Structure 1
Amino acid sequence: MSASIQSGELFDVKGLIAFVTGGATGIGLLIAQALEANGAIVYIFGRRQQSLDQAVKTAKNGNIHAIQGDVTNKADLERAAKQIQSAHGYINIVFANAGIGGPSLAGLKPEASIEELQKHLWNWGADDFTHTFAVNATGAFNTVAAFLQLLDLGNKQGNVSQKSQVVVTSSIGAFNRRPGLGYSYSASKAAVTHIFKQLATTLVPYDIRANIIAPGFYPSELTVKTLEEREKTGWSKSEVPAQRAGDAQDIAGSVLYLASRAGSYVNGNVLVTDGGRLGVFPATY
């Protein structure tokens, strides 16, 4: 009998056990909702209990579960892994989604003098850079490290046909030569993109895959101001060819593809979902 090419089977995530850092808000919540609405059991991880509680209430099937913690705290990640192991014994997919911004050029006039530019850049502290990397790069790396044995057990469980996987939410900022949300933000996203490409190679002997999602403008705490402005002015083709921000369906399509049988042949891939923005800006992608 030939293999099924019905979309309902190709993109099926029923019974998948998933973990999403930064899963209470923004893209992380959209990831969690997309998986849970289609039959997965999802654990979301974040610092703010109130946001976690609100996110849990959005579950369609009662299968979004909250774990409070911080990705910069290895003990918190280890505790989360142990909680999921106790409940299920394994995991199938981990989304390292938690991220923050950093110091940016916001507030600097386009016509700023060289003196004003120097002052703006010089006023940034070293901690402004290192904390962004601690969350966006080191935090994502440690998230993977905390769950490796559970991901291996997911392969051995065999509850789904696709191999276990780790996915990081990077950003088109990793490739865009305009600093956007800031140099440390963009650099941290470039770093974590490369880390996950390396993980895709490192984890080959263990049948654990690693992939990257690189979003453009999506609703999140980092894009609130821009999205509010564009609600009034609209989007130009020169800014985003699709002339809109990404929405829940856009991120769900990417997530369901990677998490299901449909994306099971994908490893070390960068999935850009930006409405064409990288095509109209100087970029290295």
Structure 2
Amino acid sequence: MAATDARKLFSVEGMVVCITGGGTGIGKMMTEAFTTNGAAKVYIIGRRKEKLEETAQIAPNIIIPMVADVTSKESLCELADKIKQDVGYVNLLCCNSGTMPPPIGVKSSEVSLQEYRAKALATKTEDWAQTFATNASAIFFSAMAFLELLDAGNKQGNCAGRKSQVLVTSSIAGYLRTPFNMGAYPASKAAATHLVKGLSGTLVPYSIRVNAIAPGLFPSDLAAGLIAGGGAGEKDPTEEGAFEKDFIPAERTGKTEDMAGTVLYMASAAGAYLNGNITVLDGGRVSQLPGTY
């Protein structure tokens, strides 16, 4: 088979994959992508057992639901130990869990300083702490908990030409400077993006790669409010024409196939040369907003 043959380039056959937040939203899209394209095992992790088990029905012989809390170092280490006992290695760890607390809810340009201060201080410090714990700190501790499993994946040799990888779900929110977006979520995603860059260099001696996807709007519980506010109305938000170009140039949200194609590229031999890369997948939305990208 030629080196440029797509069946070889984009194959994830035989891979062992672990996806945090793999039962819903973008994580479920990833789960479907790997499951339907030959992965040997896909471990999906989350706190809601019923959602994990529901998603596992897509391919019960491949998908293994595991309840764990990514904000707990102890829970992550216990999870890694269970996977070590079960299969012994992991080729790809997808750090996908995320949370979005309530926003401040007002624009600083539209209210007095006193009102903005009151609204900002009404947000909970616990929400900020939980958001950073889930969206940023969990990336570091997940990578460390799975480090030996990823090393074992390299030694397993079942992914010729590809080194083990940590693939992070960041967000274009981490690039934005729009005043209305001020809050814990974009700050935590900026931290996630920086963690990817730092970890990619740190793990070089162990031949473990670290990359990220920075999605725009994809159908999920997390993005439901933003999508509803975008003006699609009763239209299917994934269909072209659902939104104005100044909201999303592609005129739609992302679809399962958009996410699937991207993760298959990044996980396969086609993306084997990526390390420290942040792939923006947003239909052009970040180009319509003030940002640092």
Task: Give the count of matched residue pairs.
Answer: 283
Residue 175 in 1 paired to residue 175 in 2?
Answer: yes
Counterpart for residue 232 of structure 1:
233
Residues 106, 180 of structure 2: 8 Å contact kept? no
Counterpart for residue 121 of structure 1: 120
C-alpha separation between the residues in 1 aligned to 2:193 and 2:179? 16
- Distance in 2 (CA, whole Å) between partners of 1:136 and 1:50 is 22
Q: How does 1:144-163 map to 2 (within 5 A)?
A: 144-161=143-160, 162-163=162-163
* Residue of 238, 261, 270 corresponding to 1:253: 261
Secondary structure in 1 matching 2:17 = strand
CA separation of 1:111 and 1:181: change in aligned 2, threshold 3 A: closer
Is the 8 Å Cα contact of residues 199 and 210 (structure 2) preserved in structure 1?
A: yes
Mapped partners of 2:58, 2:226: distance in 1: 25
After TM superposition, list the pairs within 5 Å mapping 1:189-208 onto structure 2: 189-208=189-208
| Aligned residues of 1:30 and 1:251 also touching (Cα < 8 A) | yes
Match of 1:168, SS state, is: strand
Q: Would you say 1:15 and 2:14 are equivalent positions?
A: yes
Aligned amino acid, residue 62 of structure 1: N
* Unmatched segments (≥5 aa) in structure 1: none
Which residue type is aligned with residue 222 of structure 2?
L
Q: Is the 2:174–2:186 Cα contact (8 Å) retained in structure 1?
A: yes
- Residue 50 of structure 2 aligns with which residue? 50
> 1:166 is matched with which residue?
166
Measured in 2, the distance between the counterparts of 1:183 and 1:125 equals 11
Q: CA deviation at 1:3?
A: 4.7
Query: Any idea what the Cα deviations from partners look like across 1:116-169, whole Å, max 9, x if unmatched?
Result: 222111212322211110111111111111000010010011001210000110
Tell me the residue number matched to 1:267: 275
- CA deviation after TM superposition for structure 1 residue 277, in Å: 0.8
**Percent of aligned positions with the same letter in both sequences?**
43
CA distance in 1, matches of 2:153, 2:280: 27
Secondary structure of 1:221's counterpart equals coil
Deviations along 1:28-57, whole A, 9 cap, x unmatched? 111111111101120000001111111101
Deviates more, 1:138-147 or 1:107-116: 107-116
* In 1, Cα distance between equivalents of 2:204 and 2:76: 23
Decide whether the 8 Å contact of 1:72 with 1:135 is kept in 2: yes
SS at match of 1:89: coil
- Farther-moved stretch of structure 1 (132-141 vs 230-239): 230-239
**Following TM superposition, by how much is the alpha carbon of 1:180 offset from its aligned partner in structure 2, in angstroms?**
6.0
Name the aligned partner's letter for residue 231 of structure 1. Answer: A
TM-score by length of 1: 0.94
- Structure 2: which amino acid aligns with 1:269? N
Measure how far apart 1:71 and its partner are. Answer: 0.3
Shift of 1:181: 5.8
Q: Which moved more, 1:69-78 or 1:13-22?
A: 69-78
2:105 alignment partner in structure 1: 106
TM-score normalized by the length of structure 2: 0.92
Change over 3 Å in CA distance of 1:181–1:47 after alignment to 2: farther
Tell me if structure 2 keeps the 8 A contact 1:100–1:222.
Answer: yes
SS of 2:218's equivalent in the other structure is: coil
Q: Which amino acid aligns with 2:148?
A: Q
Partner of 2:285: 277
Q: Note if contact 1:103-1:182 (Cα within 8 Å) is conserved in structure 2.
A: no
> In the alignment, does 2:231 pair up with 1:223?
no
CA deviation after TM superposition for structure 1 residue 109, in Å: 9.5
1:133 counterpart letter in structure 2: F
Separation in structure 2 between the aligned mates of residue 282 and residue 238 of structure 1, nearest angstrom: 13
- Partners of 2:263 and 2:26 in 1: how far apart? 11
What corresponds to 1:143 in structure 2? Answer: 142
**Runs of 4+ residues over 6 Å off in structure 1:** 107-110
Secondary structure at 1:231 match in 2: coil
Deviates more, 1:141-150 or 1:116-125: 116-125
